[in-house]
Amino acid sequence: METTLNSQQIAKVLHGITIPPQPQVLVDIQMEQVMPNPDVRRIANLISRDPSLSGTMLKVVNSAHFALKNKISSIHQAVQILGLSTVLNILNGISIKSEMDDATIVQMNRFWDTTMDIANISAALAKQLGLRGADESYALGLFHNCGVPLLLTRFPNYLEVLNASYLVHDERIIDVENRMLNTNHAVVGYFVAKSWHLPDNLCEIIAEHHNVDAIFIANSPYASEKKTLLAILKIAEHFCRNFNILAEQDLDYEWEKIEVPLLTYMGLSSDDLENIRDDFIEKGQLTP
């Protein structure tokens, strides 16, 4: 199924998009676009590397215009449904709105550096463990921190707050943000995900992804499918050293608190996890 949206419909979709896409991804897409025969699959691959572009495509395809029975989280499926013409028109509209100064790009680099790695490892973990929903795991990895760039643009001191939040031992990361900013990137991310019409379970996990103490340590009655997705995300964050790249900290205090109950829930041992990590490194999927 392919449906072409007119310019007015596309303008409505782009209204309110505030997370800037990664400049290099836009450049790569533009280079593919001017080829004699643009490769839709390559364009979909490029889009799937960026939360803003991916979120926009999912927002369109999950909108009432397409009236899908179930919301989707697969970027490749979204691009296939939208068709090349609509995808390129949306991307061109985003491109026009996405002029960033050098300082903003430097600030955003931390976010971009972790996003793709965590998304890829999340999907790889789901496959390695024989679980369904690799697409969902990928999407959660891609979107779980989508509130971060919004807070970066809203609060000049957000990077300092983020660093401080990952340094705490006896509080949640979001407790520090709440105290210093009266909001946090998980709740902001939830509303962004809702505005993109992502599936409800992904939106809810985004909102809860730093409430892991209550979910794993307290053995809460959290739905098992969501709990598994959250566990995969937390392992992927730890493997990809999100605490170091995003928040410039040397130790993953959040992981230290939840490692034992999380692995128990997943039926894994520390040795199992180390073997999986070594396998990813050997395959070139993860940096040592």
8 Å CB contact between 196 and 55: yes
- Write out the CATH class of domain 102-282: mainly alpha
| Domain edges within the chain | 7-97, 102-282
Nearest to 75 by CA among 55, 95, 89, 52: 55
The DSSP symbol for 5 reads P
Q: Which residue has the higher pLDDT, 11 or 147?
A: 147
Nearest to 132 by CA among 272, 280, 205, 232: 232
Question: Considering the chain, what percentage of its residues have pLDDT values greater than 90?
Answer: 48
- Our CA angle for 156, 159, 164, nearest 5°, is 125
pLDDT tens for 177-234 read 999 999 999 999 898 888 888 899 999 999 999 999 889 886 677 888 999 999 999 9
- How far is it, in rounded angstroms, from Cα 76 to Cα 120? 14
Task: State the pTM of this model.
Answer: 0.81
pLDDT tens for 238-277 read 999 999 999 999 999 999 999 999 999 999 999 999 999 9
- How far is it, in rounded angstroms, from Cα 181 to Cα 193? 20
- Counting beta carbons within 10 angstroms of the beta carbon of residue 132, is it exposed (0 to 12), middle (13 to 18) or buried (19 or more)? exposed
